[in-house]
């Protein structure tokens, strides 16, 4: 089923920013803050996506994912560890039996500048290696040229290649120029089969922003009202503090409601966020901040 892109709402940038600012001013009580921080921690995809990645670095990240409880008890595990396809098998072995998902980027991440066949092969390889989730990038050049059918078909083919793995579709909103384009790209991704829509690769600025995320949440809400299908959301890039994470959760709850307030339907792509949340939780429990050097930087 293809989306109808002719009758979509148009977004006023000033109006969206004013709406988002109201989410940021919500008061959160101490007990609710602690529960919110734990919820956010369990929604994080710990990520290493650098050209200098090594097997050792991937193993270290997996170790961190498995040992967050060393500093505090009664906290959730992160949702996933995200790596390049070549490191999926290593991550899968390291995380075996933990319940933590292995996610992999694919489709010529981060540029998306490759042939369709190469993108499908990339996806099939990641799934074969054991990826539970695939994070693909859309072809922004084709989208901005108005080749919406091309983008739709490519997502649909990648979705088919995913098999049982969940598909997160990265819009790279920092390159889409307008909020109306973000809405169009969200519609195309959802109707083409995305299980999640995701803001950014983290390689382009601006990455995730609350106005962009609001528009994507609004698209998810309308899609749910039309189809009854729940689509997940993943803001990624630039979300580094607990305060900002809680603001995103306030927005998520007010736009989509409690059914989306879990790692099945919401993720943060922000590895450094985990350290800040742990610092805040230790402060809430002990009354003292630990040094940021206490926590692994990876």
Note the pLDDT of residue 290. 62
Alpha-carbon distance 128 to 76, whole Å?
28
DSSP 3-state of 115:
coil
The answer, yes or no, to whether residue 288 has pLDDT greater than 70, is no
Average pLDDT, the chain: 94
Residue 248 in contact with residue 213, Cβ under 8 Å?
yes
Q: Which CATH number fits domain 13-294: 3.50.50.60, 3.10.580.10, 3.20.20.80, 3.20.20.70?
A: 3.20.20.70
Average pLDDT estimate for 58-87: 92
Average pLDDT estimate for 95-112: 97
The answer, yes or no, to whether residue 213 has pLDDT greater than 70, is yes
Note the pLDDT of residue 297. 55
Note the pLDDT of residue 284. 82
- Report the percent of the chain where pLDDT is more than 70: 96
Note the pLDDT of residue 298. 54
The answer, yes or no, to whether residue 104 has pLDDT greater than 70, is yes
Average pLDDT estimate for 189-214: 96
Note the pLDDT of residue 195. 98
Average pLDDT estimate for 9-32: 92
Note the pLDDT of residue 292. 53
Residue 246 in contact with residue 40, Cβ under 8 Å?
yes
Alpha-carbon distance 232 to 133, whole Å?
12
Note the pLDDT of residue 1. 76
Give the angle subtended at the CA of 205 by the CAs of 150 and 11, to the nearest 5°: 65
Note the pLDDT of residue 69. 76
Note the pLDDT of residue 252. 98
Specify the range with the lowest mean pLDDT, choosing from 17-31, 41-55, 149-163: 17-31
Average pLDDT estimate for 232-239: 95
Alpha-carbon distance 296 to 281, whole Å?
16
Alpha-carbon distance 49 to 64, whole Å?
16
Average pLDDT estimate for 42-52: 96
Counts for the chain of helices (H) and strands (E), in that order: 11, 7
Residues assigned a catalytic role: 135, 198, 234
Domain boundaries along the sequence of the chain: 13-294
In sequence order, which ranges of the chain are alpha helices (DSSP H)?
13-24, 30-41, 55-66, 88-94, 116-128, 140-144, 148-162, 179-192, 210-227, 242-255, 271-286
Tell the burial category of 131 from Cβ atoms under 10 Å away from its Cβ (0-12, 13-18, 19+).
buried
The answer, yes or no, to whether residue 170 has pLDDT greater than 90, is yes
Note the pLDDT of residue 74. 87
């Amino acid at each position: 089923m293809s989306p109808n892109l002719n009758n979509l709402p148009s977004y006023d940038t000033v109006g969206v920013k004013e709406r988002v600012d109201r989410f940021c001013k919500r008061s959160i009580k101490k007990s609710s803050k602690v529960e919110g921080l734990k919820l956010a921690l369990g929604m994080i995809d710990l990520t290493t996506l650098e050209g200098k990645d090594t097997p050792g670095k991937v193993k270290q990240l997996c170790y961190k994912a498995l040992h967050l409880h060393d500093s505090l008890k009664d906290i959730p595990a992160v949702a996933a560890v995200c790596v390049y396809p070549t490191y999926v098998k290593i991550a899968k072995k390291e995380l075996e039996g933990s319940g933590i998902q292995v996610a992999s980027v694919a489709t010529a991440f981060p540029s998306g500048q490759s042939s369709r066949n190469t993108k499908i092969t990339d996806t099939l390889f990641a799934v074969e290696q054991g990826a539970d989730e695939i994070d693909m990038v859309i072809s922004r050049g084709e989208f901005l040229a108005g080749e919406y059918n091309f983008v739709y078909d490519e997502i649909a083919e990648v979705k088919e290649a995913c098999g049982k793995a969940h598909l997160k579709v990265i819009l790279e909103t920092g390159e889409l120029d307008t909020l109306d384009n973000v809405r169009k790209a969200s519609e195309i991704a959802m109707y083409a089969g995305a299980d999640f829509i995701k803001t950014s690769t983290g390689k382009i600025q601006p990455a995730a922003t609350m106005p962009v995320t609001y528009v994507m949440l609004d698209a998810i809400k309308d899609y749910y009202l039309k189809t009854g299908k729940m689509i997940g959301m993943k803001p990624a890039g630039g979300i580094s503090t607990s305060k900002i994470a809680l603001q995103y959760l306030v927005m998520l709850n007010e736009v989509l409601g409690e059914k989306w307030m879990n790692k099945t339907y919401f993720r943060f792509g922000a590895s450094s966020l985990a350290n800040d949340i742990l610092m805040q939780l230790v402060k809430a429990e002990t009354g003292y901040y630990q040094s940021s050097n206490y926590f692994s930087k990876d």
